Amino acid sequence: MVPFGVWLLASLGAAVRPSSIDVSGDHLVQRLWPRPRHVEPLGLGPVAVDHERHQFQAVGCGSSPLAGCHVLSSAFKRYKVLFFPHHADLDSYSLLETGSNSSHLRARRRQLRDVSITKVQVEDLAAELSLGVDESYDLEVSEEGVVISSETTWGALRALESLSQLIDFNFTEESYFVESPCRIQDSPRFPHRGLLIDTARHFLTVPRLKRTITAMSFAKLNVLHWHLTEDESFSMPSRSHPELAEKGAWSATERYTWKDVKDVVDFAYLRGIRVIPEFDMPGHVSSWSKSHPELFDAACLARSRRLAFKPTQETFDFLEGLLREWTSGIFRDGYLHLGSDEVPMECWAHLEVTDERGRSVRGPHRLFSLFVGAIFQRAKKLNRQAIFWDEAFSSASLPEDAVIQVWRDKNLVRQVVNAGHRAVLSWGWYLDHLQEGWKGMYQNDPTSGVPNDQHHLVLGGEACMWGETVDGSDQGNTLWPRLAAVAERLWSRREVTLTAEAARPRLETFRCLLLQRGVEAAPVSGTGRSAPPGPGACTQRAGNWGLLA
């Protein structure tokens, strides 16, 4: 158990019904996604959780201004509803009065004499949500109570999610229970476990973004990569240059306000999810030309679409000013994604510019290298580390502390870490590829082919939900359950995640949980965005109406 961490005590009642014990813990593992590192049964029979008397107490918080207290207070509200969903008002995150006159329920309440109390004591309430923050936890459930130990608030959030998945409901007695006493020791395999969402190809509203973030927390994902600007549209607000969104958005209503973006960032923070914005450049920037044509060479402007920024000092100054505004006012994370993919370098075929030292630079590849290097340094001036798509690694010279996101060829991961860079894998996890099912995504390991002594340079990965054919009407069942397969691959140790087929029953259970929590999730038996094959349970498989194959 982690010493002096976060501990949680919930008073639990006697067993609600007899049960045999599975000494392997498989009956508990079946309920958990992603799969924990270690699950150990501790005794016989289920233990009851009293929803009427349950309450939270954050020891050491009181009127403390520390961020961890605010995070825990918000989490207590959410998880009380997730612990006891059949006695909850999902809109207000509060429990409903039962008002029951049932004699067996009154008898049950008399049996549960002790008030259920959740006490939380945090060693480091000020631990920042950042790359590499400790998310480990130790969860122990017994008839005497539930104890969660963790070094940080963020580990406590992951433990609360696991506990919420363990709590079951007895419909006959209308009572809640955990299947058996147990101990779970858990920690993530990778520190960067993300989802890219694209709000530029199709605009996504703030409520839709929040629904996605909430579902991400159920799978213990911790990074939202927000692709905000594109050739097609520009919806990001700017106080210094409001004309960018005024002229670049799809429509007058498909834009974000300053408050909208901050609200999304704060909402994700309370769920332990970092928001990393992507402002793709120097390509994928045609929407910028509607208000600032001076950022482009005339040869590029003559094209109908797919423009590229002119890599001049004036362009870099303009971009630095915007990045300074956005990083100082909205985005708190230490990382920025600055694109660099699919640049139409033919725009620069006849372009010649002067670099900051007064030297003449010409030729598309040299100009690309100039742009990537210059924007990296501008981000560094803003105390931000830069992430680039893998074209920047293949076609430019970058400092070792640049992070490379690999999407074109998985073999590039090994080349990236051999060069001393840190890598994030997205190859194999493109959710807009609807023909690809969850099994291939589950088997896709970020460190395959990477020497053991370089595994630490592989930060993790991201599934990518590009928005060409996705909007608010179909995003949910395009993401899930395939995103859950990626989430387990990034959280769970290789030694506890064997084959996709072995994981399938648990994924079916998790898909049922998502549906119960209001998350749109396609059937496990299908590929991307598939429909149920006919009438059946939430665990049904293709070709088996009403039956589980």
- As its CATH architecture, domain 192-516 has Alpha-Beta Barrel (3.20)
Q: Is the pLDDT of residue 445 over 80?
A: yes
**Which CATH class name applies to 15-89+109-186?**
alpha beta
pLDDT at 148: 85
Range with top average pLDDT, 167-176, 312-321, 531-540: 312-321
User: Tokens 């991307």 appear where?
Assistant: 528
Every domain of the chain and the residues it spans: 15-89+109-186, 192-516
Distances, alpha carbon 102 to alpha carbons 86, 175, 183, in Å: 16, 13, 34
More confident residue, 539 or 120: 539
More confident residue, 255 or 2: 255
195-216: pLDDT as tens digits: 999 999 999 999 999 999 999 9
pTM: 0.93
User: What residues are paired with 425 via a beta bridge?
Assistant: 406, 461
Under 8 Å between Cβ of 492 and 189: yes
**Separation between Cα atoms, residue 103 and residue 94, nearest integer Å:** 25
Under 8 Å between Cβ of 508 and 539: yes
pLDDT at 526: 86
Structure tokens belonging to residue 375: 């924007």
Q: Is the pLDDT of residue 116 over 50?
A: yes
Structure tokens belonging to residue 541: 């498989």
Q: Is the pLDDT of residue 93 over 60?
A: no
Structure tokens belonging to residue 268: 């994700």
Under 8 Å between Cβ of 20 and 44: yes
Q: Is the pLDDT of residue 390 over 90?
A: yes
Q: Is the pLDDT of residue 17 over 50?
A: no
Q: What is the DSSP string of 56-75?
A: EEEETTTT---HHHHHHHHH
In 187-332, which residue ranges form alpha helices assigned H by DSSP?
206-218, 243-248, 258-269, 298-301, 313-329
**Dihedral-angle region of residue 467 (phi above 0 means left; psi in -120 to 50 means alpha; beta otherwise):** alpha
CB atoms within 10 A of CB 139: 24
Distances, alpha carbon 291 to alpha carbons 234, 245, 247, 256, 345, in Å: 11, 9, 6, 17, 22
Q: Nearest CA to 487 among 122, 220, 93, 120? A: 220
Residues marked active site are found at 342
Residues counted in the chain: 549
User: Tokens 């140790």 appear where?
Assistant: 493
Cβ neighbors of 450 (< 8 A, separation 6 or more) are 413, 414, 417, 457, 458
pLDDT at 94: 54
Give Cα 383 to chain centroid, integer Å: 23
Range with top average pLDDT, 143-152, 293-302, 318-327: 318-327
Query: Across the chain, which distance is largest between two alpha carbons, in Å?
Result: 88
For the sheet with 175-178, list strands across it: 47-49, 175-178, 167-170
404-421: pLDDT as tens digits: 999 999 999 999 999 999
Q: Nearest CA to 486 among 199, 186, 192? A: 192
Q: Nearest CA to 248 among 199, 195, 188? A: 199
**Separation between Cα atoms, residue 170 and residue 87, nearest integer Å:** 13
Report long-range pairs for 71-76 (Cβ below 8 Å, ≥24 apart). Answer: 71/153, 71/157, 71/269, 71/270, 71/272, 72/120, 72/122, 72/153, 72/156, 74/270, 75/156, 75/157, 75/160, 75/270, 76/118
